[in-house]
Amino acid sequence: MTKLNVAICQAAPVPLAVSDGIDKAVRLAREAIADGAQLVAFGETFLGGYPLWLDEAPGAALWDHTGSKALHRILMEQAVVAGDERLLPLQELADESGAVISIGAHERVRQSLYNNQMTFRPGLPVLDHRKLVPTHGERLIWMRGDGSTLGVHQAEWGIVGSLICWEHWMPLARAAMHNLGESIHVAAWPTVRESYAISSRHYAMEGRCFVLAAGLVQSKDDVLDGLERAGGSSEARELLEAIPGDVLNAGGSLIAAPDASVIAQAGAGEETLFAELDLSLRDESLASLDTDGHYSRPDVFELSVDTRAKDGVTWRD
């Protein structure tokens, strides 16, 4: 198979209210698959919504802020967990259609939250990728991932993997993913602003792969609506209402080819972006640049990747 139809569902999440977000994601993915998509991508933390109050709400990072604590509690209550039955409709859609679905979520492991870009695969368990380094204010919410979730899915048409947001400025993370031989890479972002578009296109050029740079559309009203769906909180509402402006995540999703050219470009609103990829272009592009092969200089540089899970606790009898 050399031709593959892909889609990015650039949409507004249902912030905080994860079950409602799953319903919307299933509907959008099903529509994209009905229109021919064999791979469907959503943006960063689509399930639960990107926590934009960290950047936008005055005082959100202050110690013991009642609104921030209330929002953290809601995220903890709503977050997906291992074996979460709420996710079954996404797995069933992948199983019945044969499509691969990449979607971001807040995940709870013990008492910590992770930013997880999950890949639902037909007939296989979900493939997790937990963000290695939460960026700046995100560290108030998310735990750091480890090397155990640096992986890819081998589909019949090629290899697909993902990184999240500023992981695309981690040179060694990029090198590790290039070593895994991605044909298609999902770059999950809250918004694909100019620098994020540059990074996504650079990844395509460097990795000689197609890149689906998937962004969200999210407004302050979306977050306030999601807050009420998730049970509400007067302290959280007060914090969110203090956010200036309205549109805070503004799409910009794109699909880039292995030569960094843009195949498809979305606007700022909700839309599903489609493209047909000619996967043979990947092998052709490797003639001039293979950063994992003839451009790698293994006699000079060596990369070691630790894929052991780092749970932090070992119980012994």
Helix (H, G, I), strand (E, B) or coil at 313: coil
Q: Does the annotation count 131 as an active-site position? A: yes
Given a contact cutoff of 8 angstroms between Cβ atoms, the answer to whether 284 and 16 are in contact is no
Given a contact cutoff of 8 angstroms between Cβ atoms, the answer to whether 36 and 308 are in contact is no
Choosing from 9, 44, 206, 220, the catalytic residue is 44
Choosing from 9, 107, 138, 165, the catalytic residue is 165
Given a contact cutoff of 8 angstroms between Cβ atoms, the answer to whether 7 and 35 are in contact is yes
- Find the Cα–Cα–Cα–Cα dihedral 10, 272, 125, 162, rounded to 10°: -60
Measured CA distances, 38 to 5, 26, 96, 100 (Å): 6, 14, 12, 6
Given a contact cutoff of 8 angstroms between Cβ atoms, the answer to whether 205 and 260 are in contact is yes
Choosing from 9, 24, 107, 131, the catalytic residue is 131
**In terms of C-beta density within 10 A (0-12 exposed, 13-18 middle, 19 or more buried), how is residue 193 classed?**
middle
Q: Does the annotation count 9 as an active-site position? A: no
User: Which amino acid appears at position 304 of this protein?
Assistant: S
Q: Does the annotation count 69 as an active-site position? A: no
Q: Which residue numbers are catalytic?
A: 44, 131, 165
